[in-house]
Chain A
Amino acid sequence: MSQLAFLSGNEAVAEAVRLCRPKVVAAYPITPQTVVVEALAGMVESGRLESEFVHVESEHSALALVMGAAATGVRTFTATSSQGLLYMAECLYYASGGRFPLVMMNANRALALPWNIYGDQSDSLALISAGWIQAYAETAQESLDMIIQAYAVAEDPAVRTPVLVNLDGFVLTHTYEAVSLPEPSEVDDFLPPPVFPDDYPGTFDLARPQSLAITAGPGDYAVFKARQHWAMCQAAKHIRTTAHAFRAAFGRGCTGLVEGYRSEDAEFILITLGSTAGTVRVVIDELRASGQSVGLIRLRYLRPFPTDELNDALFGAERTVAVRALGVLEKDISFGHQGSVALEVKAALYDRGAGVPVRNFVAGLGGQDVSRAHLADCFTELAATLDTAARVASGVRFVGLKDLVDDHDQEPA
């Protein structure tokens, strides 16, 4: 039977990794991910996890190393954050192009300059096109569950696409909650064995030598890339079936790539991702109590992007009230344009969401607090967009900036 443990997000990830029994673990320390690396090193030392733990000299080496290990047909793990994720950038594309079924945890953290160790989502969003499935956890429980499911999805022979599981730095990585911890045997039953079968595609074969991570010219390259894209699109289906199987086995967990909260009858909806969703829920309950028609949609996966699920949630038959305005709340800004998630959402809504204003709220950069008052303001502003839709729909609102500087509204007209 599973047991309850009091764990931080990082510790929940380490426990999940232990339960998944990777054969090779390589990682390089960076705040706020270090706890994961330390915990895994301790588990290997104490024998709780039987694995090769490799002390690497950089994040670039960490990811390159687990690729080499995966090529021999074994399950692996690595974790990073921020500067480390960007330092790996070349290897991220390499791993997805090589179709290595890797799982990596990323502690979402701001990018220098200025140096800042606190949470925001600029790091993983900068690499959204790198060919990795991108998952965003809200709670420590979901972090643990997502890691276990990530291996099932990544290693599915029809998917063979690496998975990046993101946890908001500090807010999730360092916050404790009661987490239901499965028994090792339960996870063994859920996942395939950590040593892949001999005929697993894309691995070395001592009987029939293979060349991996190859070169392809202009014609063939395009075919490889189209296949990679199709496999990623297909992955959405596998993420759902895996989540259903997980729910059946463990009795919990969301089964979609998006999750709604009081959204079906809401006129004003905030779309967000990661741990901020928790605060948004609280604010929604408060505003609902005073009669406001507000709701939340949480994006659990950004790749593959859940275009249909999102559109169904916003405009589908299940709705009882039409959406009047949307806000996208994210801890990221694509300088000179808008937040990356807002751009993603707007692209996804282009066909079915015409006429609904979408406002971009950029919040929590570099660990800036996102308070209930800030979120209530967001909903107030959403309602206001109905009057001034043309101007505000395209703009970016930096949430909470007016608490800090006078010229918070300096966006050129």
Chain B
Amino acid sequence: MITIKNLPEPEYFVGHKACGGCGGSLVVRWTLKVLGERCIAVIPAGCMSAVGFIYPQMALGVNAMIAPFAATGAVLSGVARGLKARGIEDVTVVGFAGDGATADIGLQALSGAFDRRERMLYICYDNEAYMNTGIQKSGATPFGARTTTSPGGYRPETDAPKKDLIRIAAAHGIPYAATASVGYANDFLKKVQKAAQVEGPSFLHVFAPCPTGWGCDADSTVRLGKSVVDTGLWPLVEWENGAVRLNRNPARFAPLETYTGEQARFRRLTAADLADLEATRDRQWRALRAWVRESAGM
């Protein structure tokens, strides 16, 4: 079993221009260590493509291409079909797309690829905004977060939190989908390994802090990646062949301020906001646990 301690030595994402502490770049780097050289990576417009393919300095040590912003799922499908037509079976086709590229503009192409059961591993690194264009609100921006297009802190029209990508993936009936966080590396790495072995599409939704966009320290990435899970704001969930499992099912959550307090984007949150956030979180967990029971036929 691969863990953070025995990750393979070779580096496949080096010399890129991501900011210090970039969670997205950790997702790419760690994933490629798990998958190894025989893989083809597709990365749409967004931070990871912007920092990794600047001619003539290519940062990817595996075959890779940038996809049009909306087309990650389609380009992945094309690569997978091309390999299939050539009879090449031992190459992993992996996508690394931001939350905007996944939850918003690329959702149509992703849905199509899921529906066709393409042999691909799709990883959404979620930094909760359009970072590459300068921190605008996306369909994955959480309640209260300041972005440049929600300068007073994002107030959703509904009390639903950000788009629920794991349920969207599961609703397509794909064989494997999971959430993960860079704060819980071993859990994430295990899921990458599992997802890569699945026949057909698999999906990982990975929490990936962005110090530049969130106003937090460059060394807080892993810490925030843990506290978001410990506060219950980012459940670690696995959907496998029709059943949902909670990888962590805490009886009590850490106080929300241990997570929000480290980030400038949440500075405007009032005590009442935090109470709202807590209520939403608890409602989410009740729904999640109900989903687990339901999927287990209980």
Contacts and interface: CB of A to CB of B under 8 A. Distances in A.
Contacts of B55: 214-217, 220, 224
Contact of A213 (B65, B82, B83, B86): B65
Contacts of B172: none
A66 interface: yes
B112 A68 contact: no
Contacts of B52: 211
B82 A214 contact: no
B75 interface: yes
Nearest to A50: B85
B297 interface: no
Contacts of B62: 209
B148 to A, nearest CB: 23
A68 B79 contact: yes
A55 B77 CA distance: 11
B201 to A, nearest CB: 14
Nearest to B71: A64
Contact of B86 (A58, A72, A210): A72
A135 interface: no
Contact of A52 (B38, B53, B75, B81): B81
Interface string B47-83: 0011011111010111111111011011111111111
B66 A24 contact: no
A254 interface: no
A212 B64 contact: yes
B49 A206 contact: no
Contacts of B248: none
Nearest to A62: B74
- Among A205, A212, A216, max chain B CB count under 10 A is at A212
Contacts, number: 156
A209 B64 contact: yes
Contacts of A16: none
A214 B40 contact: no
B108 interface: yes
Nearest to A220: B55
Contacts of B85: 23-24, 51-52, 69, 72, 74, 195
Given A205-B63, A209-B63, A215-B50, A60 B38 contact: no
B77 A54 contact: yes
Interface in A82-133: 90-91, 94, 98
Contacts of A205: 63
Nearest to A98: B65
Interface in A39-95: 51-52, 54-58, 60-62, 64-74, 76, 90-91, 94
Interface string B240-260: 000000000000000000000
A196 to B, nearest CB: 10
Given A24-B78, A64-B78, A195-B86, A206 B91 contact: yes
Contact of B75 (A57, A68, A74, A90): A68
A54 B81 CA distance: 8
- Among A52, A205, A211, max chain B CB count under 10 A is at A211
Given A23-B86, A209-B60, A60 B74 contact: yes
Interface string A10-43: 0000000000000110100000000000000000
A211 B65 contact: yes
- Among B62, B77, B115, max chain A CB count under 10 A is at B77
A204 interface: yes
A212 B66 CA distance: 7
A54 B67 CA distance: 18
Nearest to B87: A195
Contact of B74 (A23, A51, A65, A210): A65
Contacts of B63: 204-206, 209-212
A215 B53 contact: yes
Interface string B83-116: 1111010010000000000000000110110011
- Among A57, A64, A69, A214, max chain B CB count under 10 A is at A64
- Among B40, B62, B78, B88, max chain A CB count under 10 A is at B78
Chain A contact residues: over half helix, strand or loop, or mixed? mixed
B37 interface: yes
Contacts of B70: 60, 64, 90
A55 B61 CA distance: 32
A127 B96 CA distance: 30
A217 B82 contact: no
A65 B60 contact: no
A337 B77 CA distance: 42
Nearest to B75: A68
B42 interface: yes
B82 A24 contact: yes
B8 to A, nearest CB: 16
B37 A60 contact: no
Nearest to A61: B74
A54 B83 CA distance: 14
B79 A69 contact: yes
Interface string B130-157: 0000000000000000000000000000
- Among A26, A65, A74, max chain B CB count under 10 A is at A65
Contacts of B108: 57-58, 61
B272 to A, nearest CB: 42
Interface in A261-293: none
B78 A67 contact: yes
A90 B105 CA distance: 14
A209 B78 contact: no
A56 B108 CA distance: 10
A275 to B, nearest CB: 32
Nearest to B61: A209
Interface string B3-24: 0000000000000000000000
24 contacts: A23-B82, A24-B85, A52-B84, A57-B109, A57-B115, A60-B71, A61-B108, A61-B109, A64-B68, A64-B70, A64-B75, A68-B65, A68-B67, A68-B81, A71-B78, A71-B79, A72-B83, A74-B85, A74-B86, A94-B68, A209-B61, A211-B60, A215-B50, A215-B55
Interface of A: 23-24, 26, 51-52, 54-58, 60-62, 64-74, 76, 90-91, 94, 98, 195, 204-206, 209-217, 220, 224
Interface of B: 37-38, 40, 42, 49-50, 52-56, 58, 60-68, 70-71, 73-86, 88, 91, 108-109, 111-112, 115-116
Given A61-B77, A64-B71, A211-B64, 13 more contacts: A57-B108, A58-B109, A58-B112, A60-B109, A61-B71, A61-B74, A61-B112, A65-B77, A69-B78, A211-B52, A211-B60, A212-B63, A215-B49
